[in-house]
Chain A
Amino acid sequence: MAKKDTMNALLKRSISEETATLLLTKYSTLSDISAAGESELVELGMTEDEAKSVLSKVGKRAASTSTKTSKKKVEEEVPSAPMEEVTEFYTYNETELRLKDIMKKENIELPMKIIVDIAARIEGHDVPDDKCRELIVRANDMYLRHRMDQNESAGVMAAHSIGEPGTQMNMRTFHYAGVANINVTQGLPRLIEIVDARRIPSTPSMDIPLSGIAAQDENVARLVASNIEMTSILDVATIDTDITNMTLIVRPNMRKMEERHLEVDELVDKLNKVKAVRGMVKLSGYDIVIQSDEPSYKKLQSMYDAVKTAKIKGIDGITRAVLSKTEGYWKIVTEGSNLKEVLNVEGVDAQNVMTNSILEVADVLGIEAARNSIIHEAMGTLGEAGLDVDIRHIMLVADLMTNDGYVKAIGRHGVSGKKSSVLARAAFEITAAHLLHAAMVGEVDHLEGVTENIIVGQPVTLGTGAVNLIYTPKKKGDKE
């Protein structure tokens, strides 16, 4: 592979193919060539001029790229991958705007959700202005009454609200996503997985809505699915080992091939690209024969292993893709997840693709998306168990986990392990290590958090402990 790339690179630098092939007999990369001296090139059988020109073309280029890499990369990448800020503002409809006007007049600020909800209700009804005004004013009264108190320990409340229902959840609930019969971890194990921020969930799964005709036509949808589902040789064919002739015989199953929209030629092409059997694959009749190039059983075995797992079609990591129909539209549910690749597949409604792998969302779509993904997954898991938890609690956990720009776990490797206080960290886990390190660097604990203050026996800085009452007694001579 490397040689091929180098070849292309050399050709690009307007070096004749002949010279290039010559060069490639000894060197495999550009830097190798540039590192070699002029005399060495001459030894290869080039004229001195040729050697010089090659070196100037390659060497200079290579040298300049190596020195400027850092700078150049920055310069180049910015225009090549323009980060287009995708901000979609909500466009208010007429009723909503009318309510907003009233709000402005009354100098009231309400969350958008309330306005939209009210507007949705009065939409289509003839509501006079004064009634609208009354609606807004009363809504504001209610809203203000429902606001949270200052210094409320919102965090503990959230932790309790998520932890307490955990005791009511089932351990081993597998849920079959719709008719598709895809196993997805649910219940407490899934919830733990979410707060743990595991890199790969125990049952990764994607939900891929389709666009265009794929959404309507089952056959097109099936085609898309076959492009997504990873197909290995064993899925569509049987492999026999012929020891006497030192060959592998791949017998494609036509029905299965058709199911996955595969042609035999395609199979041969793909197999020919597999490293262990490159160039050895031939079609003979209905079967594909792979002739070993050396008479060794070991080689045959390694060939068999390579062929067996060879990917023919589809996307890495997606082991199954099943069609399902919801609300008249086809969608694909998968086992395994690979968001980045799936987004590129034709016929996929990329905007609405979902995966349950939070870290993958963070990698592909960014931290805000990961935050929403945590909320969505956690709410879904709790909802599935029939438990009602206010979304605000989960938002808080999600915001905390994604606060630093990457997904942190809840636990000693994540949030708890990064606390600013030694005592708090020591009280959580790995006690001695934290204390010893603190002693070594001369760490100071400012006793700002909850655990520290409990340890030294002081009021904590939350709730009523956060406010101080200062009373200045009157001096003796003072009068009222």
Chain B
Amino acid sequence: MTYGITKRIGSIKFSCLSPEEIRKMSAIKVITPDTYDDEGYPYSGGLMDPHMGVIEPGIRCKTCGCKVDECPGHFGHIELALPVIHVGFIKDIKMLLESTCCKCGRLMLSPEQIKDRMDSMEKMEELGGGTIEKKLFTKDTAKDASGKAVCPYCNETQIKIKLDKPTTFREVEDNHKLTPKEVRERLERIPDEDLRALGIDPETCRPEWMVLTVLAVPPVSVRPSITLEAGDKSEDDLTHKLVDVLRINQRLRENRDAGAPQLIVEDLWELLQYHVTTYFDNQTSGIPPARHRSGRPLKTLEQRLKGKEGRFRSNLSGKRVNFSARTVISPDPLLSINDVGVPTFAARELTVPLRVNQYNIEKVREIVRRGPMADKLDFPYVPGANYVIRADGRKIRITERNAEEVAEGLDIGYTVERQLIDGDVVLFNRQPSLHRMSMMAHRVKVMEGKTFRFNLCVCPPYNADFDGDEMNLHVLQSDEARAEARIIMQVQENILSPRYGGPIIGAIHDHITGAYFLTHNNPRFNAEEAANIMFKLDDVPMPEPFIDETTGEKYWTGRQLFSTILPKGFNTSFRANICQCTNRAECKKGNCPNDGYVIIRDGELKCGTIDVKAIGNSKGKILDRIARDYGSERAAQFINQVTRLALGALMNHGFSTGISDEDIPQEALLQIGNNTNEHIDKVTALVDSYRSGTLQQMPGRSLRETLEVSVMKELGEARDEAGDIAGKYLGMDNPAVIMAKAGARGSMLNLSQMAGCVGQQAVRGERLSRGYWDRTLSHFEKGDLGAYARGFCSNSYKSGLTPTEFFFHAMGGREGLVDTAVRTSRSGYMQRRLVSALEDLKLTSDGTVRNTVGTVVQFKYGEDGVDPAKTVRGKAIDLDDLFFEVFGDSAEDFIQDNEKDVGGDYGSLEKDEMEYIEEEGDGEDMDDLDIDYDGGGE
């Protein structure tokens, strides 16, 4: 086994095969249009001739003498009775025929023009012009040369040529069909010099090679036959096609040699052309695709390469791997964000190579001695080993039986494939992998059970939930890979998202509710409670308690407990999510009636409530600062501790939500009902005024549009007011409200829909209007434009929708689903294009952004060279921070009102909108609808 890469492929040159070359590299001339005889042995000279490689184990290749997997396969060849045109080059052949003389074969441009063109091409190359530019230029040259009436060299009159798709050329004047033979003869006449002017390198591709006289037959390993259960063999599509070619070729040769009528020979010739054409591309426009007996179109050469399932995208750009695992995921709040819980079953199967050296040989021997232990899935877990690779590269599978023996035979230089242990570095991934945080490095923690587990804070970067999601795990195999993964891919290194320069990993859902209970209005905890909250924090000592002056009892405050996990010397102040202020001037800072202004000085929480704005993912200000200023290690520690602390506080308090949370008193319901009715009356009035023509038209709108706009506005108000009324009766002691206000989950809109009124349903942003003639449902009169007839739901989710309302709601919901389905495919394709366009760009050492060829795209990345992940909401440095460092507490004086509230919301949609967007089902079908334009080009 060799370590490290010793050689690199410098470059790859593409070229056409000449007939001589095809014959030279051919191992055998294929003549028999058949594969296997009755006994199941391949015919010699047939398409499965063992000279072309082997596919069955145990048989040796007749050319190289190697077995399966060792023999790379060898090409054969078919001598075509008459030449045929290669479809892939049809356009180029046409271009060549048109631009050159039909008699002397010269390019129909004057020598000066040719020289001029050549010089321009050389210059182009000097200036770094790519193939595409040259392609366009030569196309131009050809266009200039074509269409001449008379050849400037031999004065021969030129006859226009027309291409009858896909592969026949015809002289326009007398409708004479050019046979491939004639085409080939013409192409042969083109001198090398003129080819260069047309951008063709005669060394790599003489044009006459585009008209095939010999057909290369790919090795059998390229087109293996499959043995079905019944024992009969099923041939590959390519083999089928080659059989057709051979059969027709044979008939053509016989007929020609026998001197058959021209007509028959031509028909057969055309048939051969058809078979060769479909052999290359079975989707050529203009001819019916060749079909399998079952009616399925054959998958021939081009179909193998192109498209999402083609060789390029499916096998070359993406490859299958070993040492990977996939299973369902589930949460574990007690794991660190860097950890991943791996089930023992997977851990026994996944291995890490361990080089045996003089220092570890005894230890490794011990591991090997344990054997694979495939059945021992319970705890305590000790790692075994699955394979030993000897110094000569032989791989030995360790079994229960041979473990002892193999262990004894272990020597320095051997490699042992050891099973996973705690602390191994692995990559963890969830599809769709939309950004780099979709694949992060975790530390293994072998656990019981059958699922992968990780800390809930890591859900947002993967966009994972636990409703049955599965994730993949890859074990790294080399030290370099492990080091790299640990330093740049580990979860803690990805806390700050490069998308917006804020944390993407942070407290979610219950963590936030917990932190709210811990800190809101600074509750007191007695010794037992405080201990319960704190005991899961390992290295945090209990702070000194306060003494109640009246009772003399010890107590701890919530802020005090929270402060234990803040770094020393940490200072910040900001408005919490529960803050009700609408602008900065209104804010009373420390005296906020809602406890909504957070002040932290020297790592002490002085006042304020900790909620999403403090520790939440994508918004957490404290998290943001710690990750940026104290390093990823400290940030990871903070997240681990804050989640444990919050859960401790939540468990101490107890928390649950249910349908009774949306209970509002009878009077409120009445009030909402009255209010809604008022609005509906107004809508009716609007409709009446529309009918009577008294409705005031809005500028730039038709009368009907004016009505729709005002009705939508009116009904929007109805819903909002219903929500407000309901909100008044839902106080801060209501769990659902707490969640919404603290930013843990849900929004006040969700609540008002549940308790107050669902509101207007819309499709394409308009009131519902389609269904029956002039009405949405047969329950309404024709032409009814009122609120209820057009999709207004005045009930709440809790009170229950009426049948018509339910139907309208389903209509609105359907739009959301359709939208999601369309969007995933469209955005998937957009991202594929973006990545393909931008993947080569990197920041070079001189600060410029260049592509890999060296073209400068930006002289300074982002105009300031700052990493977006390290910015503060897009700003290069945090001014608040800077001024605080320099001026201390008086820094506040410098804040100007016109500045944006730095550290406010980091962008993502509001939670209630996210609800609709949440992806159901599996990630893999993500780009099923991917629009692939392969083949349709040009």
Contacts and interface: CB of A to CB of B under 8 A. Distances in A.
A394 to B, nearest CB: 10
Given A148-B843, A386-B908, 19 more contacts: A111-B864, A111-B866, A121-B883, A142-B878, A143-B877, A154-B842, A154-B849, A161-B498, A162-B834, A163-B827, A167-B823, A390-B500, A403-B855, A432-B306, A437-B135, A441-B131, A442-B200, A447-B11, A458-B5
A459 B484 CA distance: 13
B199 interface: yes
A424 to B, nearest CB: 8
25 contacts: A113-B864, A121-B883, A131-B886, A134-B886, A139-B882, A143-B866, A143-B877, A146-B870, A148-B861, A148-B870, A151-B844, A152-B843, A154-B849, A156-B835, A159-B839, A165-B907, A181-B705, A388-B906, A396-B838, A396-B858, A437-B135, A440-B16, A441-B204, A442-B13, A450-B840
A119 to B, nearest CB: 11
A383 B882 CA distance: 28
A142 B934 CA distance: 48
Contacts of A163: 434-435, 827, 830-831, 834-835
Contact of A139 (B432, B502, B834, B877): B877
A440 B200 contact: yes
Given A143-B876, A403-B855, A138 B316 contact: no
B839 A449 contact: yes
Interface stretch (A201-209, A300-308, A407-415): A407-415
Interface string A434-473: 0111111111111111110011111101111010000000
Interface stretch (B161-169, B588-596, B694-702, B783-791): B694-702
Contact of B312 (A165, A170, A320, A427): A427
Given A163-B434, A448-B852, A131 B887 contact: yes
Interface stretch (B517-525, B670-678, B892-900): B892-900
B378 interface: no
Instruction: Identify the 5 closest CB pairs spanning chains A and B, nearest first.
Output: A388-B907, A155-B841, A163-B831, A392-B862, A442-B204
A260 interface: no
Given A154-B842, A390-B498, A390-B874, A160 B317 contact: no
Interface of B: 5, 8-16, 88-89, 92, 130-132, 134-135, 199-201, 203-205, 210, 281, 302, 305-307, 310, 312-313, 316-317, 319, 432, 434-436, 484, 488, 498-502, 698-701, 705, 709, 764-765, 819, 822-824, 826-828, 830-831, 833-845, 849, 851-853, 855, 857-858, 861-868, 870-871, 873-879, 881-883, 885-887, 893-896, 905-910, 913-914, 917, 919, 932-938
A454 B316 contact: yes
Contacts of A9: none
Contacts of A437: 92, 131, 135
Contacts of A428: 836
A331 interface: no
Nearest to A322: B700
Interface stretch (A26-34, A75-83, A187-195, A232-240): A187-195
A159 to B, nearest CB: 4
Contact of B310 (A134, A431, A450): A431
Contacts of A131: 886-887
A148 B865 contact: yes
A447 B908 contact: no
Nearest to B434: A164
A168 B205 contact: no
B765 A443 contact: no
A441 B853 contact: no
A157 interface: yes
Nearest to A428: B836
A67 interface: no
Contacts of A390: 498-501, 862, 868, 871, 874
B312 A431 contact: yes
Contacts of A388: 499-500, 502, 873, 905-908
B874 A391 contact: yes
A213 interface: no
Interface in A399-420: 399-400, 403, 410-412, 414-420
A114 interface: yes
Contact of A192 (B830, B858, B862, B882): B830
Given A151-B842, A437-B131, A440-B89, A145 B835 contact: no
Interface residues of A, number: 122
A412 B434 contact: no
Given A113-B876, A392-B868, A403-B857, A171 B895 contact: no
B567 to A, nearest CB: 17
A243 interface: no
A386 B618 CA distance: 13
Contact of B305 (A157, A195, A431): A431
Interface in A321-355: 322-323
Contact of A400 (B305, B841, B934): B841
B887 A442 contact: no
Contacts of A391: 862, 874
A135 interface: yes
A395 interface: yes
B451 to A, nearest CB: 26
Given A135-B882, A180-B700, A396-B838, A389 B14 contact: no
A450 to B, nearest CB: 5
Contacts of A188: 823, 826-827, 830
A173 B700 CA distance: 21
B852 A449 contact: yes
B61 to A, nearest CB: 25
A313 interface: no
Nearest to A122: B894
A411 B907 contact: no
Contacts of A440: 16, 89, 92, 200, 205, 210
A460 B910 CA distance: 39
B89 A444 contact: no
Given A150-B843, A192-B830, A172 B15 contact: no
A399 B5 contact: no
B866 A152 contact: no
A402 B284 CA distance: 36
Given A146-B870, A160-B436, A389-B500, A153 B484 contact: no
B909 A385 contact: yes
A422 to B, nearest CB: 6
A386 to B, nearest CB: 5
Given A430-B937, A431-B305, A459-B5, A322 B699 contact: yes
A336 B14 CA distance: 49
Contacts of B434: 160, 163-164, 167
A55 B919 CA distance: 80
Contacts of A422: 14, 131
B885 A138 contact: yes
Nearest to B499: A161
Contacts of A455: 312, 316-317
A442 B130 CA distance: 13
Contact of A443 (B131, B701, B830, B935): B131
B843 A159 contact: no
A265 interface: no
B650 to A, nearest CB: 29
A365 interface: no
A256 to B, nearest CB: 13
B711 to A, nearest CB: 15
A431 B500 contact: no
A417 B132 contact: yes
A435 B905 CA distance: 49
A158 interface: yes
A396 B835 CA distance: 12
A20 B312 CA distance: 70
B436 A157 contact: yes
A466 to B, nearest CB: 7
B830 A444 contact: no
A380 interface: no
B914 A168 contact: yes
